[in-house]
Amino acid sequence: MLIMNHSQFQRKTTGGYYTPSYVVDYMVQKIFSHLIGSKRVNTGSYKKFEKSLSQLSFCDLSLGTGNFVIGILKWVWREFKNYPDISIEAKKIFFQTFVRNNLFGVELDKQILELCKSEIIKNYVFLKLTDFRNFRNGNSIVDLDAKRILKEKAVKLKPFSWGNKFDVIIGNPPYYNIKKMGLQDPNTRLLFEYLKDSDKWKKYFRSSSDIYYYFIIQALHLLQKDGLLSFIIPNYWIDNKYADLLREILLKSQILEIVNLGEINIFRDEGRWLKISTCILTSEKKEPYQDINVTKIKTRNFSKMIKQPKLISKNKSFRVAQSNLGKEKWILSPYLSILQKIFSNKELVPLSSIGRVAQGMSPGVKDVFVLTDEKVNRNQIEKEVLVPFITNGNMNKWKPKIEQKLFAILPSRIKNLDDFSETKKYLMSNKEKLSAGPDRQRLLKLEKIRWFDFSVYRNMSVYENVKQKILCPYRALNPKFCYDNIGYFGATDIYSIIPKNEDDIYSLLGILNSSTFNFYYREAGKIKGKMLEFFSDPMKKIPIPSVDERTSLVAPVKEILGCLKKNENNNRQELTYLESIIEERITKMYKLDPEFIKKYTSHGK
């Protein structure tokens, strides 16, 4: 989907970005290869080709400027070259009929819809605007029942309904979190209300779900029996807990292929690459009959890979039994048989049973509340309102890397601001900042916070009362769990683990920093591109060995912390030795092959 000549805000609220032609060509080729393989498109002769193609309908539910429609037309026009005996005029007549009768699309923005038609005519000058009679202005996921739910406001959402179904639905639906976007855009707030109350959608509704979930479900509803779906979408749906109903409905059809594009940059906005981890999902609307083909693209240049198919060998392709998947997070890994050893080990317990996982607080305006030592002294901030603070960048394996002391003003300690004159003076100088932004303005309007408060005092009891804990960043290339005995406070990009048993802080630290854990979490935890994401839900499920076994890790981990307290550089050899002891013990606890873990760590990830 492409949004052109619009402001950045409009682009954000529609969630649309230009899909490169090489991605479109790849998806279109995959669809036609399947149609030819299943004999739904017959290329034996021109007459058979024309007849079979004229019996199929193709739809894009979020047209943009028509990239996917153009991709389909390019494929058809190229195929014409295989029939040199047929006149160009005859081909043009069929082509025009195909556009008029077999191509369908919906676009929310009327201006973009007209641009879409013009873009296609630029490529095929013999076509006319009247040929695009099945290109409509409307919202693909807002049905006519919106008029009953939203009354006169429904017109703002452009309700729309097809009376027919399709053989192929292909495209790039919009991406954005409906609840978050609703804070900025009134039309999205209306959409949120509609999806929540509609008889069609309320059974799939999740307040924190993404808009593209609904486009996938709508596409599955609109497909004919044996119809094909091909979407390029963010890959978060594979493990996001709010996508459980989406996964459930997808499993009712045959998922043909999931191509995980990982860290490959696909979309650009105003000259910069967007960090969106994407995948290409291809599905067939029929009873599941085979395993899913999964490809994890490692080649950075995806366009080059498409032009040279042998490069696919550099990527990981494997098959996953669809029958092994459910509505919970999908584990799409070539190492599933090895992971099953962990899942079936009844001696392992979830981390949540032996400790607590707590996210940091939400200051709201971090640069106001978090101060360096020098800034504290310069502003003479009263010590009673200060707490030690740590950032994502301070996270390091075993112990934090502190190059500069940081403190945070903790407003919850302030009952009366007049009691802290210097702090009051400093905060007053930043009052405009502290009152800005839609989130803070909403909280202030609802009187949920004072103007100088944090936006959210999350897990306050942990940070106020617990001195010893394990800290980790919310996202990292490799595990970076560190020991905190200072009592640091952190923001939302920091997570804390607080074991019930004091000695478990050391054994857990050893487990979480191990190569075995790295393997487990990279394949069965939460990952975005190459980055591990340490969020509450997946961390609570981390399988931990029994107390009898994990106790053996306490002594070597304490020794590591002791070495690091002295001098890391002078004790590197001792650290390596202690880490090797820990690695060996942990591998045995999880009943895994140490050689496999070593190989995975050096080559497999």
Same domain, 90 and 238: yes
- 338 located within any domain: no
Backbone angles phi, psi at 496, to 5 degrees: -120, 145
Q: Which pLDDT score is estimated for 572?
A: 82
Give the residue from 297, 332, 367 where a domain finishes. 332
- 340 located within any domain: no
Instruction: Return the structure tokens found at 461.
Output: 């009891």
CATH number, domain with residue 187: 3.40.50.150
Angle between helix 67-80 and 88-102 (nearest 10): 150
Q: How far is CA 239 from the centre of its chain?
A: 9
Q: Which helix (H) or strand (E) holds 587?
A: helix 572-589
CA distance 108 to 176: 15
What is the total count of domains within the chain? 2
Same domain, 93 and 241: yes
Q: Which pLDDT score is estimated for 273?
A: 60
Same domain, 435 and 497: yes
Q: Which pLDDT score is estimated for 6?
A: 36
Q: Which pLDDT score is estimated for 565?
A: 82
Same domain, 452 and 586: yes
Backbone angles phi, psi at 268, to 5 degrees: -120, 150
Question: Using the 8-state DSSP alphabet, how is residue 604 labeled?
Answer: I
CA 206 to each of CA 37, 178, 243: distance values in angstroms, whole numbers, following the listed order:
38, 10, 8
Same domain, 381 and 291: no
Nearest residue to 219 via CA among 209, 233, 199, 207:
233
- 347 located within any domain: no
Same domain, 321 and 439: no
The model carries a pTM of 0.82
Successive 10-residue mean pLDDT values, the chain, 605 residues: 36 57 91 96 96 97 94 96 96 97 96 94 94 95 94 94 93 90 88 94 89 96 97 91 93 96 70 75 96 82 57 70 92 91 92 96 94 96 96 94 93 96 97 90 92 94 90 95 95 95 93 96 87 92 95 95 78 89 96 94 69
Pick left, alpha or beta for residue 329 (phi over 0 → left; psi -120 to 50 → alpha; otherwise beta).
beta
CA distance 138 to 106: 6
Backbone angles phi, psi at 174, to 5 degrees: -70, 155
Please report the DSSP string for 89-107 in residue order. Answer: HHHHHHHHHHHHHHEEEEE
Instruction: Return the structure tokens found at 576.
Output: 């390596």
- 284 located within any domain: yes
Same domain, 12 and 102: yes
Give the residue from 266, 297, 332 where a domain finishes. 332
**Containing domain of residue 581, as a range?**
355-604
CA distance 568 to 572: 6
Amino acid 506 reads Y
- Cβ neighbours for 194, distance < 8 A, ≥ 6 positions apart: 142, 146, 149, 150, 154, 157, 201
Same domain, 64 and 150: yes
Q: Which pLDDT score is estimated for 305?
A: 59
CA 162 to each of CA 137, 138, 382: distance values in angstroms, whole numbers, following the listed order:
12, 10, 65
Burial 344-357 (b: 16+ CB within 10 A, else e): eeeebeebeebbbb
Q: Which pLDDT score is estimated for 4?
A: 34
CA distance 383 to 164: 69
- 158 located within any domain: yes
CA 598 to each of CA 326, 526, 605: distance values in angstroms, whole numbers, following the listed order:
31, 21, 11
Question: Using the 8-state DSSP alphabet, how is residue 486 labeled?
Answer: S
Considering only the C-alpha atoms of the chain, give the largest distance between any 2 of them, rounded to a whole number of Å: 92
Q: What share of the chain is helix, strand, coil (3-state, %, to 5)?
A: 45, 20, 35
CA 311 to each of CA 24, 33, 101, 302, 303: distance values in angstroms, whole numbers, following the listed order:
19, 19, 38, 9, 11
Amino acid 518 reads N
Same domain, 296 and 427: no
From the CB of residue 398, how many other CB atoms can be counted at a distance below 10 Å?
19
